[in-house]
Chains A and B, each alone.
Chain A
């Protein structure tokens, strides 16, 4: 196969790749949506269907969100020390100094 052909195929492939969507699932009412993974889909409705088929086959959820991955704004790993390490020695921020009644769920 010549270089020209394979490059043409590559360009065709790249054009055919669908955008990526992040999938969030609410496991049951009362809980918040949690990130589950991502799917490729051409548009929002198809992303919901792909998410349904990919991530809720085993009764994982009662509600789905899909968000275009390019809309996610991420923190810079280079700033992790400044952002997160100051919390390391402040254990008094954890609500661990009182007991939770046994019948309180989801904490």
Chain B
């Protein structure tokens, strides 16, 4: 059954996981320690696994015969629906941790609520993913504390990373007309009320990390309707190259 609203919603969820998973995979072989290399790759693989399920759902809702691979590897940049936060470059380790910290604490709450969706398939994916993301949040929280309450340099880098990324947090909690109908139907969840709990969790960890919660600033939106930063195109060029150059390649 064709359901354009559900297609859009599942793409938003799936693209968040896919793009952040792809970003994290860029650390593979480059992380500061072997142990961190494995942790980041594990988190990235969890996210790509979620994306596989969510984009498969999106493809079914679209009803045009596109599967998860088609959506991941043969969509153009303007058709991606991820939030701007997840496409931001890795930067230094502090920026990667801060991005994960902002996002995983949000995603855990989001999937926890989505596990009660009236759409059984969405609810099942969320119920499985929330356990994975709880660990991602824990990893990011622990590292925020160690960077913030670490050396003078790690504190300064963590602070700068939060300052840089804070403008992208607002978009996580935005709801537009496209989602309102799905919320009313109990399929999508309303992320707006989750912001209070998210802010409390974030503030608690930052306090432990001897870091300040950044001042509110002018937020940047656009990812949910395909208005991306220049970074996403470069990311997709790498991610989609093989499928674009050798369509249907298998090994």
Contacts and interface: CB of A to CB of B under 8 A. Distances in A.
Interface of A: 18, 39-43, 45-46, 49-50, 52-54, 57
A50 B139 CA distance: 10
Q: How large is the interface on B (under 10, 10 to 19, 20 to 34, 35 or more residues)?
A: 10 to 19
Given A39-B35, A40-B35, A53 B42 contact: yes
Given A45-B142, A46-B146, A49-B139, 11 more contacts: A40-B33, A49-B142, A50-B38, A52-B135, A53-B35, A53-B38, A53-B39, A53-B42, A54-B35, A54-B38, A57-B42
Contacts of B139: 49
Contact of A46 (B42, B135, B142): B142
Nearest to B139: A49
Interface of B: 33-36, 38-39, 42, 135, 138-139, 142, 146
B80 to A, nearest CB: 29
Contacts of A53: 35, 38-39, 42
Across the A-B interface, give the 3 residue pairs with the lowest CB-CB distance, nearest first.
A50-B35, A53-B39, A53-B38
Contact of B39 (A18, A43, A45, A49): A49
Contacts of A50: 35-36, 38-39
A42 B35 contact: no
Interface of B is mostly: helix
Contacts, number: 27
Nearest to B42: A53
Contacts of B34: 40
A70 to B, nearest CB: 18
A46 to B, nearest CB: 6
A28 B34 CA distance: 27
Contacts of B35: 39-41, 50, 53-54
A50 B39 CA distance: 7
Nearest to A48: B142
Nearest to B138: A49
A45 B35 CA distance: 13
A42 B149 CA distance: 13
A51 to B, nearest CB: 9
Contacts of A46: 142, 146
Contacts of B36: 50
A15 B139 CA distance: 24
Contacts of A40: 33-35
Nearest to B33: A40
19 contacts: A18-B33, A40-B33, A40-B34, A40-B35, A41-B35, A42-B146, A45-B142, A46-B142, A49-B39, A49-B139, A50-B36, A50-B38, A50-B39, A52-B135, A53-B35, A53-B38, A53-B39, A53-B42, A57-B42
Nearest to A41: B35
Contacts of B138: 49
Nearest to B39: A53
A16 to B, nearest CB: 9
